[in-house]
Amino acid sequence: MTTIRKKILLTNDDGIRSSGILTLYTELSKFADVTIIAAETQRSAEGKAITINNIIRSEKINITESIVGYSISGTTADAVILGTNILEEGPFDFVVSGINQGLNISNHIVLTSGTCAACFEASFYNIPAVAFSMHVSEKNFFVSPDHNTFQKAAEVSAQIVKELLLSTYPENLAFINVNYPQDVSLETEKRNSFMANKFLDFKPEERQDPRNNNYYFIWGDIVKDIPPGSDTDTLMQKKVSISAVTANLNLNVKSENEQFVDDLIQKVK
């Protein structure tokens, strides 16, 4: 009996050549047909921006000697819109975003994240999705580390995706948000975590250019009050955080989303 392989659309916001997406591609390709579509450059922290006042170019390229994908000039949300509507490899059964260079935890960051934006966009096309992110050193927030950095996270991610492909998402579940500590392994404990309201306290940092004109960096320190049981708390304990995210902005999150995550964790232990 022939098994039909599921079709996965894979994207990210760190750029099409980032280590995280390529390492994850290798693991997912072992059991699914995976198509990469991602921004040609770093597009982090742009949220669910959609390009409506500029053209978007898409080009099929050789990302590596063995991996082909679609490079676009737009955002991560644009990637999902193009991927689900114009790619000959579709229609897709599932959308995966990541592995992101840096954590995407708390309501504040999730709404800012391009990684999570891809999954939000997929939910509006009724395609189940999952976002993967991992803690890395500050120097690698915008400069991709080597592929080995993401290897264990990619292996765990593949386990999670395998289970999700066999599952039916609850009605109001937009996507699953998974965040890894830096030293994640296959044995690292996984926790069903609610999202904290805030992870970083952003403020402008003032500098001066050679002409003595002011310019600013937006940067943030970790908030002091971390709610117990939240995604932030879970990562502080160096455990894997798994959260259910809803696209419904009304205050009516259903309990079956939490049960869905509990069941998933039991399956991938």
Q: Which residue range(s) make up the domain with 157?
A: 7-197+228-268
210 domain-assigned: no
83 domain-assigned: yes
Using the predicted structure, report yes or no on whether residue 1 has a pLDDT greater than 80: no
Q: Which pair of structure tokens corresponds to residue 20?
A: 């995280």
- Would you list the DSSP string of 103-166? ---HHHHHHH-HHHHHHHHHHTTT--EEEEEE---GGGSSS---GGGGHHHHHHHHHHHHHHHT
pLDDT tens per residue, range 50-73: 999 999 999 999 999 999 999 999
Q: What is the pLDDT of residue 111?
A: 95
20 domain-assigned: yes
Using the predicted structure, report yes or no on whether residue 254 has a pLDDT greater than 70: no
Q: What is the pLDDT of residue 193?
A: 96
Q: Average pLDDT in the 207-236 region?
A: 94
115 domain-assigned: yes
Residue type, 38: A
109 touches 135 (CB < 8 A):
no
Cα-based angle 10, 12, 16 (whole degrees, multiple of 5): 85
Q: What is the pLDDT of residue 106?
A: 94
29 touches 22 (CB < 8 A):
no
pLDDT tens per residue, range 73-99: 999 999 999 999 999 999 999 999 999
141 domain-assigned: yes
Using the predicted structure, report yes or no on whether residue 213 has a pLDDT greater than 70: yes
Using the predicted structure, report yes or no on whether residue 253 has a pLDDT greater than 60: no
Q: What is the pLDDT of residue 79?
A: 98
Using the predicted structure, report yes or no on whether residue 142 has a pLDDT greater than 80: no
Question: What number of helices (H) and strands (E) belong to the chain?
Answer: 7, 11
Q: How far apart are CA 80 and CA 77, in angstroms?
A: 5
Q: What is the pLDDT of residue 88?
A: 96
- Number of domains composing the chain: 1
214 domain-assigned: no
CATH number of the CATH domain containing 25: 3.40.1210.10
Model confidence at 269, pLDDT cuts 50, 70, 90, reads confident
pLDDT tens per residue, range 151-183: 999 999 999 999 999 999 998 899 999 999 999
pTM over 0.85: yes
99 domain-assigned: yes
170 domain-assigned: yes
Please state, rounded to an integer, the average pLDDT across all residues of the chain. Answer: 93
